[in-house]
């Protein structure tokens, strides 16, 4: 049996009948790029309803972070507390603004440890950038308390966490800005690059909205030197369509996660539990295991895809060669983490095969499988 990590071809087959006419319509309209393009305007309206907040669509999750931080005034010399076990873009955006990333360690579930945040605060600290890694919500209650106490801005990197919640509240709506990616690999995905910012204030929304379109107020008048970071009409159309089916996808991912958690052999495999106030959407399902690389090779021989998100934490990348930073949990986890398939097109047979194969590797053969 073959188990792909993702299956875009299957997703297209599933959607083709309904989505192709939408794509054709957009192509025939000639309305391709522009902040007033029909599907873009419609998408922003829907995001506004979904988040009850102030959205701005942009060209990628990376741009969402850059413009989001620009919008709330992060500038040269500011310190931004964040984690190192993220996609490189989270930290890159801090660096490109001339600010300084201050890395703190993470909890067993890979998310930022709120207790470490407080220890890292200095006079220069301006903001906390949390990353809701794998679609698991950070403890936003504790984090917002710290931010309030020290008067810090909060940026939520929600690139992997559309629809995730903490204490029933959507990730992205706690901080000053929530920054999302709609890259094809995400649960809520387009067919090209894309993203959006959710701003807490209308003023910030209005500023970012101009920034993403060359700072323009009107066709020929600019208020700022901005960027070219518009979401195109075609991606917006695809996202408008996929927003309708997203609930089902999240439900399926959560069911797969539950099945893995119930059936993987706990003696060898650590699956961080879903804590009481969390509602996680499982962009990734990450197990933490001994002999990770050997297991990965074993799975490959059994035709099961797996990935490592991320094998080298950012503070150990070449750019930080001269700085000695020690993050024990982050570094330990980077040697044990493995992302196993969790996409919504997996069949029950495939999911069982993944569980049996991993359990077999650790020697728990023929154990009874608990149902969904």
Ligand X SMILES: Cc1ncc(COP(=O)(O)O)c(C=O)c1O
Binding site for ligand X (CB under 6 A): 60-62, 86-87, 89-90, 131, 157, 159-160, 181, 183, 193, 195
Report DSSP letters for 96-146, one per residue.
HTT-EEEE--B-TTSSB-HHHHHHH--TTEEEEEEE-GGGPPP-HHHHHHH
Closest distance between ligand X and the C-beta of residue 272, in Å? 17
Cβ distance to ligand X smaller for residue 237 or 264: 237
Residue with Cβ nearer ligand X (101 or 195): 195
Q: Which residue, 295, 84, 94, is CA-closest to 179?
A: 94
Q: Are 304 and 353 in contact (CB under 8 A)?
A: yes
- As measured in angstroms, the least distance from the Cβ of 88 to ligand X is 8
d(CA 303, CA 299): 6
- Dihedral through CA 121, CA 135, CA 208, CA 100, nearest 10? 30
Question: Whole-number minimum distance, CB 62 to ligand X, in Å?
Answer: 3
Give the residue with the Cβ less far from ligand X, 264 or 338.
338
Compare residues 105 and 157 and give the one whose CB is closer to ligand X.
157
Nearer to ligand X (CB atom), residue 263 or residue 343: 343
Instruction: Count the residues in the chain.
Output: 372
Residue, CB closest to ligand X = 61
Concatenated DSSP letters for 247-258?
A: HHHHHHHHHHHH
Q: Supply the minimum distance, in Å, between the C-beta of residue 171 and ligand X.
A: 12
Minimum distance from residue 24 beta carbon to ligand X (Å): 26
- Could you give the CA distance from residue 362 to residue 202 in angstroms, rounded to a whole number? 54
């Amino acid at each position: 049996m073959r188990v792909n990590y993702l299956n875009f071809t299957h997703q297209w087959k599933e959607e083709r009948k309904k989505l192709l006419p939408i794509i054709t319509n957009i192509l025939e309209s000639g309305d391709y790029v522009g902040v007033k393009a029909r599907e873009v305007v419609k998408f922003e309206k829907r995001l506004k309803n979904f988040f009850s907040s102030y959205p701005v669509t942009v060209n990628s999750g990376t741009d969402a972070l850059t413009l989001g931080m620009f919008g709330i005034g992060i500038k040269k010399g500011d310190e931004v507390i964040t984690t190192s076990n993220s996609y490189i873009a989270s930290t890159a955006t801090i660096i490109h603004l001339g600010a300084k990333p201050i890395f703190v360690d993470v909890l067993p579930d890979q998310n930022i440890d709120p207790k470490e945040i407080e220890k890292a605060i200095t006079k220069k600290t301006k903001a906390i950038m949390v990353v809701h890694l794998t679609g698991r919500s950070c403890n936003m209650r504790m984090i917002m308390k710290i931010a309030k106490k020290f008067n810090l801005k909060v940026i939520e990197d929600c690139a992997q966490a559309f629809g995730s919640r903490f204490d029933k509240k959507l990730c992205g709506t706690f901080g000053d800005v929530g920054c999302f990616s709609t890259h094809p690999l995400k649960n809520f995905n387009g067919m090209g690059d894309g993203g959006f910012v959710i701003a807490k204030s209308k003023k910030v929304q209005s500023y970012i909205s101009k920034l993403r379109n060359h700072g323009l107020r009107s066709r020929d008048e600019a208020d700022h030197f901005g960027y070219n970071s518009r979401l195109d009409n075609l991606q917006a159309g695809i996202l408008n369509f996929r927003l309708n089916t997203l609930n089902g996808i999240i439900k399926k991912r959560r069911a797969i996660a539950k099945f893995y958690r119930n059936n993987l052999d706990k003696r060898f495999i650590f699956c961080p539990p879903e804590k009481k106030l969390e509602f996680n959407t499982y962009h990734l399902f990450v197990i933490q295991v001994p002999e990770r690389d050997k297991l990965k090779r074993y799975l490959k021989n059994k035709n099961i895809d797996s990935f490592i998100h991320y094998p080298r934490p950012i503070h150990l990348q070449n750019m930080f060669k001269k700085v000695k930073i020690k993050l024990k949990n982050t570094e330990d986890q980077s040697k044990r983490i493995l992302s196993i398939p969790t996409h919504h097109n997996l069949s029950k047979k495939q999911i069982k095969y993944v569980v049996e194969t991993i359990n077999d590797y650790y020697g728990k053969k023929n154990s009874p499988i608990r149902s969904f």
